Amino acid sequence: CVCTHEHFNWQDDRPLRHPWSKTVIYETHVRGFTIRPNASVAHPGTYRGLMEKIPYLNELGVTAVELMPVHEFNEHQAPGINPQTGKPLGNYWGYDPVAFFAPKASYSSAGGLGQQKLEFKEMVRALHHAEIEVILDVVFNHTAEGNELGPTLCFRGMDNAIFYTLAGDKRHYKDYTGTGNTINANHPVVRDHILAALRYWVVEMHVDGFRFDLASVLGRDSSGKLLANAPLLEQIAEDPILRDVKIIAEAWDAAGAYEVGSFSEQRWAEWNGRYRDDVRRFWRGDEGMLAAFASRICGSADIYALSGKGPEGSINFITCHDGFTLNDLVSYGTKHNEANGENNHDGTDANHSDNHGVEGETADAGIEAMRKRQIKNFLLTLLISRGVPMLLGGDEFRRTQGGNNNAWCQDSETSWLDWQGLEQHQDIFRFTRGMLAFRRAHPVLSAEHFYTDTEIHWFDPQGGGPDWSDPNANQLACLIHEDAQRALFLMFNAGAEAVDFSVPPLLPGTRWQLAVDTARESPHDLFAAGESPLLENSHTYRLGSRSSVILLAQ
């Protein structure tokens, strides 16, 4: 059927088009963001419920929401039973679409007979009014129809041989997605269908960008070969209607493709999986991570420069929906996915996590203090790095999934944001909000070019040059020049002991001020502009174990 509606009053809504250098992405799930009663909204789990939380997003300081799939999907598709509760599991994340043009009906508070379209538009209009862009996580690499034994829901009944990549027997599907089927994305008919859907969401629904799930699949031909100049990817980048929207690739797939740093044209930004892994490993204290860590905070020139992209090509993240939350990253040494019904075999084992002495929740004050410090280290690193930062919704108040790193089937308290955490962990929320404000106040941190040798200088704790080849080196400092009078001095200590860092001398008339020290307790760990205390000793600064510090000269 086709749903039509009368004119919608956009109230002079226009695309925001925030530059990448001023973009901070907040990834969240429409339902999970507000479904708990303690979200304190009138319309929990809906587009309207998300609208009610816009003041919170403004207070935090993000500029874009990246919404997990809102295309229509079957959330009741049950892969099994939760062995811990005996209840059916369901498709919570939504990465199994059945209709590329339809907003998810169950996310509407007003009903699913066309009201979902109006309510989605109202949400976009309200977010734009608050200067927040809307980026959709879209799935064009497969559908909910599964393998040859799956249900007939959409494309199989339209033209199976055109819409899917088939094996030689024309019955079985080639599976580059891990879901049982693969969309034949570069067939002209399929390509036109995908482009029409993207244009629809931009023109009719006013969205500002797209994050493409398993985007490497979209670069394969009908035989499965990765194309050097995939027609679909080039058309998305060059389409006149799409030319000003943000396009982000998850630049890998389930069949071994990994194209981080080399994905398609320069317009494409990419989820930088190497940023996530290298930053995690540095703060865990792994050997040989010094050079990689330095490169990641500078925008990953070693990954992107050869392809002609700048730092804006890198979507930097520590956590995302797929994997541990930030709290769980510092609280669990291994995944705990038993509730998913697959005997804990699902989900990645490459977490690069550290429980700091106890697996899961603990009352040990020392362990809790170290976990909190590490959370702040990760947040600080993310928000001083060149590139585009992405936060996972709830990390700013220590959301936990109980160690589950693959909660795709958990439409339950495991996945839903628990807003009680905002009250319990005001210190982490304050730190996150403060670091976002610090990033805005110092645009040198988010410039859309790689640092030059005159803009940044590197030091070891003694004030000499770092030994990049030393596998045991896990302390680093850098001096970043903002202008002739202002500079930032950043120090990082991933070691288990406190270390004295030599602080560089300044021009006459300027003094070092303490802006951030993650080893300190709130509210003395981060100072607002104009409140930073002067350093008593301007020659050295002692960094606590596993901590980071920012000094400000002006």
Instruction: Report domain extents, the chain.
Output: 456-553
What confidence score (pLDDT) does residue 429 get?
A: 99
More confident residue, 112 or 5: 112
- Selection from 256, 250, 288 nearest residue 272 by Cα: 250
Q: Which fold has domain 456-553?
A: Immunoglobulin-like (2.60.40)
pLDDT score of 542 more than 70? yes
Mean pLDDT for the chain overall: 96
Q: What is the pLDDT of residues 163-220, one digit of tens each?
A: 999 999 999 999 999 999 999 999 999 999 999 999 999 999 999 999 999 999 999 9
Dist. CA 516–CA 447, nearest whole Å:
21
Cα 104 to chain centroid, rounded: 22
pLDDT score of 31 more than 80? yes
Q: Percent of the chain beyond pLDDT 90?
A: 94
What confidence score (pLDDT) does residue 466 get?
A: 98
Q: What is the pLDDT of residues 315-369, one digit of tens each?
A: 999 999 999 999 999 999 999 999 999 999 999 999 999 999 999 999 999 999 9
Mean pLDDT of 472-487: 94
Q: Are 173 and 180 in contact (CB under 8 A)?
A: yes
Q: Are 44 and 36 in contact (CB under 8 A)?
A: yes
What confidence score (pLDDT) does residue 349 get?
A: 98
Helix (H) or strand (E) holding 439: helix 426-441
The tokens for 103 are 């907003």
The residues pairing with 488 across neighbouring beta strands, listed in sequence order, are 480, 552
The tokens for 158 are 């339209």
More confident residue, 375 or 509: 375
What confidence score (pLDDT) does residue 111 get?
A: 86
509 falls in which pLDDT band (50, 70, 90)? confident
Residue 151: asked if its preceding bond is cis (omega within 30°), the reply is no
What confidence score (pLDDT) does residue 245 get?
A: 98
Q: What is the pLDDT of residues 264-313, one digit of tens each?
A: 989 999 999 999 999 999 999 999 999 999 999 999 999 999 999 999 99
3 falls in which pLDDT band (50, 70, 90)? low
Q: Among all residues, which ones are annotated catalytic?
A: 213, 250
What confidence score (pLDDT) does residue 484 get?
A: 80
What confidence score (pLDDT) does residue 5 get?
A: 58
| DSSP codes, 188-213 | HHHHHHHHHHHHHHHHTT---EEEET
Q: What is the pLDDT of residues 489-498, one digit of tens each?
A: 999 999 999 9
Strand order across the beta sheet in which 456-459 lies: 456-459, 475-481, 487-493, 547-553, 512-517
What confidence score (pLDDT) does residue 166 get?
A: 97
Dist. CA 449–CA 136, nearest whole Å:
26
2 falls in which pLDDT band (50, 70, 90)? low
The tokens for 314 are 């890198």
- For 6, the 3-state DSSP assignment is coil
Dist. CA 400–CA 89, nearest whole Å:
19
Mean pLDDT of 232-249: 98
- Selection from 378, 371, 420, 425 nearest residue 398 by Cα: 425
First-to-last C-alpha distance (Å) of the chain: 64
Q: What is the pLDDT of residues 432-478, one digit of tens each?
A: 999 999 999 999 999 999 999 999 999 999 999 999 999 999 999 99
The residues pairing with 212 across neighbouring beta strands, listed in sequence order, are 138, 249
Task: Supply the pTM of this predicted model.
Answer: 0.97
Q: Percent of the chain beyond pLDDT 70?
A: 99
Q: What is the pLDDT of residues 53-75, one digit of tens each?
A: 999 999 999 999 999 999 999 88
Q: Tokens 């991933």 belong to which residue?
A: 494
Dist. CA 406–CA 413, nearest whole Å:
14
Dist. CA 514–CA 528, nearest whole Å:
10
Q: What is the pLDDT of residues 299-311, one digit of tens each?
A: 999 999 999 999 9
Q: What is the pLDDT of residues 100-153, one digit of tens each?
A: 999 999 999 998 889 999 999 999 999 999 999 999 999 999 999 999 999 999
